[in-house]
């Protein structure tokens, strides 16, 4: 038993030495470690495992931030936690990575980022910013800002999963909960930590947090935030869609093998009197019911604008692993560039399906395949 304790102490000492030697790179390694961990283990946001992991990540991150901000005050000196103070920044990086990866995983499931790529870039910029600052995670203004952003995104897709409903009111409530909890954590740390009071000015920090809160809500108002936890798993322009025994048979033109980001061919060879179908498979957590619309748009070459032709809607109910399937079609189409936005009733964009209709009786569709959904 004595040998075992000596061995464990020796291993801990070696680990500390490794961390000290690579102190410059350790935080980003742990950040990436958290990102990879969730990337390999998370699947569905409504699974018990996923919910448990993400809730533990958020709880552990909050505790780690509290403990870390009191280390400069000697709060853990001569205590059990004092032995592990040096690991707290790494734990914070790990949980930042774990939580951010969860959001990116569910967000990137959508087949299109075209409408929400700006929000995605801001997410990545905030999460990686601390790797390019001298003080890194010890910069408390950055630390609390990233915490609030991660907290906001966490609640925006966790609350709909728990209450089985999502709309604008739920988004507002989620944001307010994250704002209140973040300000509460800051208040507790500020009260308990003299070093934090010396380093942080609330007149500067609070406006930063409120500015982030306002920015996220502005993005939501302009439809620039994806409607998590919904995600567009598949979106195709097709020549035919048939449903037989709860299986959808979708006939479409497949693009070249090197076009890995899209399955269907953009140039749609239209035959006389043929319908143009848009097929979509949408992931939604169990029991969430939502109205989905396909907004058909045609690019007007005269006005150089997109004309909205028609909104065609249908309802979905979540829970199916492969997504809720549905389609719309039109038979009175014009040649030219088309877009179909897959949107919610709040007009948040799940994805955009682009294609060009070519009407030439001498051309025939190429690489036509039939895929089952």
Residues of the chain predicted below pLDDT 50: 1-12, 15, 19, 111, 133-135
pLDDT at residue 4, as a whole number: 41
Q: Where are the domains of the chain?
A: 2-221, 231-372
| Helix (H), strand (E) at residue 289 | strand 289-300
Query: Could you report the per-residue pLDDT of 310-368, keeping only the tens digit for each?
Result: 999 988 876 666 678 889 999 989 999 999 999 998 888 888 899 999 998 888 888 89
Task: Give the length of the chain.
Answer: 373
Q: Are 182 and 151 in contact (CB under 8 A)?
A: yes
280 and 342 in contact (C-beta within 8 Å)? Answer: yes
Residue 275 and residue 330 in contact, taking contact as beta carbons nearer than 8 Å: yes
Q: Is 34:138 a contact under the CB 8 Å cutoff?
A: no
CB 313: neighbour CB atoms within 10 A?
Answer: 14
pLDDT of residue 134: 41
Supply the pLDDT for residue 17.
56
- pLDDT of 31 reads 59
63: how many CB neighbours lie within 10 A of its CB? 14
Largest CA distance in the chain: 86
Q: What pTM value is reported for the model? A: 0.75
Q: Are strands 336-344 and 289-300 parallel, antiparallel or unpaired?
A: antiparallel
Which residues, 6+ apart, have CB-to-CB distance to 295 below 8 Å? 308, 310, 311, 340, 341, 342, 343
The candidate with the shortest Cα–Cα distance to 160, out of 45, 298, 238, 319, is 45
Q: What pLDDT sits at residue 32?
A: 66
Residues 145-156 as b or e (16 or more Cβ within 10 Å = b)? bbbbbbbbbbbb
Per-residue confidence (pLDDT) for residue 133, from 0 to 100: 46
The answer to whether 104 and 128 are in contact (CB under 8 A) is no
The pLDDT score that the predictor gives to residue 114 is 55
| pLDDT confidence of residue 26 | 57
Fold of 231-372: Immunoglobulin-like (2.60.40)
> Residue 363: what are its φ and ψ, rounded to 5°?
-100, 145
């Amino acid at each position: 038993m004595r040998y075992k304790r000596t061995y464990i102490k020796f291993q801990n000492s070696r680990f500390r030495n490794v961390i000290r030697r690579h102190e410059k790179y350790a935080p980003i390694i742990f950040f990436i470690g958290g990102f990879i961990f969730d990337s390999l283990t998370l699947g569905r946001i409504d699974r018990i495992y996923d919910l448990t992991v993400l809730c533990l990540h958020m709880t552990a991150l909050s505790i780690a931030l509290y403990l870390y901000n009191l280390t400069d005050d000697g709060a853990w000196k001569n205590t059990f936690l004092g032995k592990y103070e040096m690991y707290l920044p790494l734990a914070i990086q790990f949980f930042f990575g774990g939580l951010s990866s969860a959001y990116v995983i569910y967000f990137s499931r959508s087949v299109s980022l075209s409408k929400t790529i700006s929000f995605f870039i801001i997410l990545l910029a905030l999460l990686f910013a601390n790797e390019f600052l001298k003080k890194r995670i010890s910069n408390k203004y950055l630390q609390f800002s990233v915490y609030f952003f991660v907290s906001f995104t966490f609640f925006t897709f966790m609350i709909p999963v728990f209450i089985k409903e999502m709309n604008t009111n739920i988004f507002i409530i989620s944001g307010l909960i994250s704002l209140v909890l973040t300000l509460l954590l800051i208040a507790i740390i500020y009260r308990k930590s003299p070093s934090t009071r010396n380093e942080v000015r609330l007149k500067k920090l609070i406006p930063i947090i409120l500015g982030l809160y306002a920015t996220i809500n502005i993005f939501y108002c302009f439809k620039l935030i994806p409607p998590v936890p919904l995600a567009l798993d598949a979106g195709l322009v097709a020549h035919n869609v048939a449903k037989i025994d709860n299986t959808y048979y979708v006939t479409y033109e497949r693009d070249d093998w090197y076009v890995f980001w899209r399955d269907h061919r953009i140039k749609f060879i239209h035959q006389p009197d043929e319908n143009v179908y848009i097929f979509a498979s949408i992931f939604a957590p169990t029991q969430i019911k939502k109205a989905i619309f396909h907004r058909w748009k045609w690019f007007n070459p005269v006005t150089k604008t997109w004309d909205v032709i028609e909104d065609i809607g249908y309802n979905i109910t979540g829970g199916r692993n492969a997504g809720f399937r549905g389609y719309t079609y039109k038979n009175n189409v014009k040649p030219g560039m088309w877009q179909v936005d897959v949107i919610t009733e709040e007009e948040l964009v799940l994805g955009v399906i682009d294609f060009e209709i070519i009407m030439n009786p001498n051309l025939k569709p190429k690489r036509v395949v039939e895929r089952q959904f």
